[in-house]
Chain A
Amino acid sequence: MACGPEGPGRTLEYYFTYDPRSLDPAFSTDVPTGEVDALLFDNLTQFDVDGRLVPGLARSWEVDPSGSRYTFHLRTNARFHDGRPVRASDVEASYLRALSPRSLGGRPWPLYPIKGARAFNKGEASGVPGLVVADDSTVVVTLEEPLNIFPKLVAMPATGIVPTPTGEEFDQSPIGSGPWRFVEWSHDDYVVLAKNPDYWGSVPLADSMRIRIIPEPLTQAAEYERGGLTVVEIPFGETRRWEERHGAELKRRPTIRDLYIAINTTRGPLSDVRVRQALNLAIDVPTLLQTVMAGRGLQAHGVIPPGITGYDSARAPFPYDPDSARRLLAAAGHASGLSLRLWRSQRPEYARIAQTVQQSLAAVGVQVEIVQRDASSARSAVRKGEADLFLTDWYADYPDPENFTYPLFYSKNAGTGGNYAFLNDPAIDSLTVRLRTTVDEAEKARLAQETDARIFALAPWIFLWHPVDLWALNPRIEGWDIPAIFNGQRWQQAHVAR
């Protein structure tokens, strides 16, 4: 049972697979840091468990008609864990701190759209003119150009609000204003948090929370089965066993994530859209999904996953049609076949996916050599444009169609920015810019759908699937669900059922 020293169920037991990099939001570049910072800190806005944007420290906000000036109104009853009230000046100081050139190695890009933020970050300016404290509870932010996702950017971990001044060793023993306050961190072992009884929102129902660091999936499962963890994520290879033994404890949620094979559209035959479409037609995705992932995924028929604005449920995926694939290859001048190299990292499920793809493509005359590297090395080669094909995935930073189209397909993001297909299509660039700037939600949905349709037609990826998360929840616990976005679960409602 998930229990702690104070009594049964008083302590929730969660885990990360590796130690957070830091507990300071300014240095949040990894998922564990992002998750724990969502518990310790507040942002102006935040995501709920379903990925909806909801008020955080800002009880409301509005944007001017130009789409480039946001006014955030702060709630007046929010306090840091040491009792200090949260003021607009703390918001300004937190953003300047995250953007400071001295915050070496942080992740301040969500704040770059603010007027003057980049110059300040480079050390070329002493302040950020786009950031103005109007009064104790009002912050006015002027952007370089209109950007409709800005309220979502300030829900990201790096934009968490910290007290001014932060104090010594803030990354080791932080003070926030979130629903949980910091108690102890033993590196590579655990982080302990206690509920914040003075929280402005829902006070956590459990007393405390211990986040263990457990890297090995089998050990995680063993801890859960002994009652040492409140929840556990089920690895893809273990799906059937858990469905048989713990079916009633399982929870599912389709992720806002793409699993795909990027096709480098600048490399030889892959610059021909017919070849790229042929690669899609040659793979039996539903069968692959069943055999390799135990059916834990929804076949992709575009880049935007279900649940995100612009998702088009009516669009048909590429069918499994090897004959058409051969015809397209022949029409593109490759009747005698071609040879490609598929790069992948060492994740176990990737090995099986890559081998099956290799066999399927061989059946239509495409010989594939699989290149296996550790994740960092594989990405490094792919960013330089050295890979024909790259098996990888994309987790949304925030739930918005822009987070799929802009980083993954905008031409200026080719390589390093995330556009591993090196797609350079003026129509997509134009659609993406309009998608980012419009203040009309209906127009945004239409643009997202049109962008997705065009991307699908150009086939810069072999579209595979949107994975489905599967977690087991201790049957005695209520009030917890799988979050749609990594920092969307703040554990306020989780408690032992009476």
Chain B
Amino acid sequence: MKRFLAVRLALLVPTLLGVLVVTFLLLYVAPGDPVQAMVGERADPETLVRLRRELHLDESLPRQFGHYVGNILKGDLGTSYITRRSIVSELRHRFPATLRLALAAMLFATTLGLAVGIYGAWRPGGWVDRFLTLGAYLGISFPVYWVGLVLILVFAVQLRWLPPSGSWGFIYLILPATTLGMRSIAVIARMTRTALQEALQSDFIRTARAKGLGEARVLLHHGLRNALLPVITVLGLDFGSYLTGSILTETIFSWPGVGRYVLSAIEKRDLPAVSGSILFLSVLFVFVNLVTDLLYAKADPRVAYD
């Protein structure tokens, strides 16, 4: 276990270094002038030259990269060119909103996905199974943007049940969490259905039934526990992507999370903000994957770390 953790943590170093290099180079070669974006249309050329010098943007590529990596090693993700605030504090302010949304989306997708999958495995081929499976597949087929706007039109504008934007309580979470979680339902349902069906054919299930255990206990305790391994993998990957990739959902529902911050930073060529955010999100993604692997082993003691 300890060796496994050490190896995984050691692997973080080249991974994050790669992220740093690629992000830095992408922004460097991308057209557009960060200094012009910073000072607006009517700045005179002298001001632009002075700012480039003060921000080290007139230096060679390796030197700029050196400055950047040097600051990161000191735990400093830098200061935004646009807002002049520390990127760490910008992310700290926005991450709780992203985490709240990701957890709610995960809860929604897991509950619905597991329910559809379990029912499908229990009563495969029936009309209810087909209807639920179709519904789940529709969820994954429609683009997030479209789903979000339709939900706003129906539930916020027509029915007036839910607010179309904002982040000030449980009721504000429902539409964005549904939009974000929609695409995971089909995957979780499919995984659960297949794995549970397979488990239900096993000898230990037959034994359990022969011992006279109730169907619910057989299904949920013995069957589902053994079918959960692939589902945990999917949940882990999806949760990581919810934390790092909810830009569209956050934009549609005016959710004040990290995704919108990254998008805004890219639009404004705010180089330190983009690099810092991507580095933060990469660390987060790798960490979630690591936790998923640990949970995987917890769910199935037969999984060896070596």
Contacts and interface: CB of A to CB of B under 8 A. Distances in A.
A107 B164 CA distance: 36
Chain B, interface residues (CB within 8 Å), range: 35 or more
A189 B153 CA distance: 21
A279 to B, nearest CB: 25
Contacts of A225: 157
Contact of A376 (B37, B50, B164, B253): B37
A215 interface: yes
A228 B162 CA distance: 12
Interface residues of A, number: 46
Give the secondary structure class of A's interface.
loop
Interface stretch (B68-76, B79-87, B220-228, B230-238): B79-87
Contact of B30 (A219, A377, A383): A377
A21 B156 contact: no
A30 B82 CA distance: 10
Contacts of B252: 216, 218-219
B31 interface: yes
A109 B153 CA distance: 45
B206 interface: no
A286 interface: no
Contact of B83 (A21, A112, A189, A223): A21
A407 interface: yes
B183 interface: no
A189 B167 contact: yes
B22 to A, nearest CB: 19
Contacts of B82: 21, 105
A188 interface: yes
Most chain A CB within a 10 A radius of its CB, from B152, B160, B251: B152
B37 to A, nearest CB: 6
Contacts of B167: 189
A332 B100 CA distance: 65
Nearest to A189: B256
Contact of A377 (B31, B153, B254): B31
A4 to B, nearest CB: 12
B203 interface: no
In order of increasing CB-CB distance, the 5 nearest A-B pairs are: A376-B32, A188-B256, A377-B31, A222-B164, A29-B40
Interface of A: 18-19, 21-22, 27, 29-30, 104-107, 109, 112, 121-122, 171, 186-189, 212-216, 218-219, 222-223, 225-226, 228, 373-377, 379-381, 383, 397, 407, 416-418
14 contacts: A105-B81, A107-B40, A109-B47, A112-B44, A122-B50, A188-B94, A189-B254, A216-B252, A219-B253, A228-B165, A375-B267, A376-B268, A377-B30, A418-B41
Interface of B: 30-33, 36-48, 50-51, 54, 81-85, 90, 93-94, 149, 152-153, 156-157, 160, 163-167, 251-254, 256-257, 260-261, 264, 267-269
Given A107-B42, A121-B47, 12 more contacts: A105-B39, A105-B51, A112-B44, A189-B256, A215-B251, A215-B260, A219-B152, A222-B157, A228-B165, A376-B32, A379-B32, A417-B42
